[in-house]
Amino acid sequence: MLPAPLKRLIAALSRLPGVGEKTATRYAFHLMNQPEYVAGELAQALTSFREELHFCPRCHHLAELQPAPATGTISSSSDLSGLCDICKNPRRDSRRICVIESVQDLIALEKTGEWDGVYHVLHGSLSPMRGVGPDQLRCASLIARVDAGGVDEVILATNADVEGEATALYLRRLVGTKAAVSRIATGVPMGGELEYLDRGTLGRALRDRRS
């Protein structure tokens, strides 16, 4: 019933998470009914965002790709051009590294406004079931950062699920005594009522109590 270009658009849109064929069709007709520049801007953003981003070579957070310097320019050893905004920021404490699984986790932590150290994004967690071992994660570069010196504390902020715990345990062993290692606290959520908490969370909150 639909012309091929519209079908192609619907098929492409329905690949997005949470977007079924029905929603994709609604989006496609919405775009049809908008001025042409709306679809143009969307298309432009979709084609360029991958090319304009890269991963920070230090912490693996997303960073905007800067245009290459003109030939003949001398780049100093303190060249920060490839680094992300957090690694480049002199007000962040580079002696304390918070290790997380994903860029989304980094964004969530940044929103708390509680962290003024730097990060290390693993891009996943250890999962023998899914065939994810240390080599598939950014573990070696974390240890390289610690080995290079100047790191006092490594905070393991991986998820509180089985895989996140296994990853934290692995990294704790790997860092060893090269830096102080801590794990983020888990327990009673803000506004939480004890009677509705699951046994694991409540038990851990009791074990990890503080004075």
User: In the bound complex, what is the minimum distance in angstroms from residue 211's beta carbon to Zn ion?
Assistant: 36
Minimum Å distance from CB 84 to Zn ion?
A: 3
* Cβ neighbour number for residue 19 with a 10 Å cutoff: 14
Whole-Å CA distances, 160 to 15, 128, 156, 163: 29, 17, 10, 8
The binder of Zn ion chosen from 13, 84, 122, 142 (CB under 5 A): 84
Specify the residue, 34 or 89, whose C-beta has the smaller distance to Zn ion. Answer: 89
Binding of Zn ion by 87 (CB under 5 A): yes
Nearest to Zn ion of 79, 161 (CB atom): 79
Q: Which of 24, 56, 98, 142 binds Zn ion (CB under 5 A)?
A: 56
Tokens of 144: 């390289």
Q: Which of 13, 24, 28, 59 binds Zn ion (CB under 5 A)?
A: 59
Q: Report the alpha-carbon distance of residue 201 to residue 194 in Å, rounded.
A: 10
Amino acid identity, residue 176?
G
Give dist(CA 73, CA 201) in Å, integer: 56
Q: How far is the CB of 141 from Zn ion (least distance, A)?
A: 11
Stretch that binds Zn ion, among 7-15, 86-94, 127-135, 175-183 (CB under 5 A): 86-94
Q: Least distance to Zn ion from the beta carbon of 166, Å?
A: 25
**Residue 62, token pair as written in the block:** 């997303």
- Binding Zn ion (rule: CB under 5 A), the pick from 28, 61, 126, 164 is 61
Look at residues 205, 165, 207, 208 and name the one whose alpha carbon lies nearest to residue 187: 205
Which of 22, 27, 29, 42 has the alpha carbon at shortest distance from 3?
29
Residue from the set 28, 58, 101, 105 that interacts with Zn ion by CB under 5 A? 58
With 0-12 / 13-18 / 19 or more C-beta atoms within 10 angstroms meaning exposed / middle / buried, residue 125 is buried
| 99 contacts Zn ion (rule: CB under 5 A) | no
Q: How far is the CB of 191 from Zn ion (least distance, A)?
A: 33
Please check whether residue 106 is in contact with residue 56, taking contact to mean a CB–CB distance below 8 angstroms: no
Sites of contact with Zn ion (CB under 5 A): 56, 58-59, 61, 84, 87
